[in-house]
Amino acid sequence: MSLDNVRKLFQRLKLPPLMGSLREVKEAELIRYEKLKDLPWFEENWDIFLDELDARFLSEDCLRQLKLSDDAQFWLDNKELDFWELLEFFY
């Protein structure tokens, strides 16, 4: 995975740039990419995604908040969480 592919995904998803030191941002971008790389598939299959949110008792707002998370330290601190656990973080 190249940094160019990472940034293309972030642009496609309209994610804000990460804030933090250069080192933190570089590492956090890779983590955020890994956590959100399947999101385009979910957006293309929105009904399936909504069903999964309902099954997990989560709201669409969780996704919006996760996408707006621009603190590099947040991604570094939560790198062990999977996509769904990150969404639960915002519940």
- Predicted TM-score of the model (pTM): 0.88
Q: First and final CA of the chain: distance in angstroms?
A: 31
Residue 87: pLDDT band by 50, 70, 90 thresholds? very high
Query: Domain of 8?
Result: 3-89
Total structural domains in the chain? 1
Nearest-angstrom CA–CA distance, 64 and 35: 14
What 47-53 contacts at long range (C-beta under 8 Å, 24+ apart), as own/partner pairs, is: 52/84, 53/87
Output phi, psi for 33, to 5 deg: -60, -50
Instruction: Tell me the angle at which helices 3-12 and 22-36 cross, rounded to the nearest 10 degrees.
Output: 70
pLDDT digits (tens, 9 = 90+) for 47-72: 999 999 999 999 989 999 999 999 99
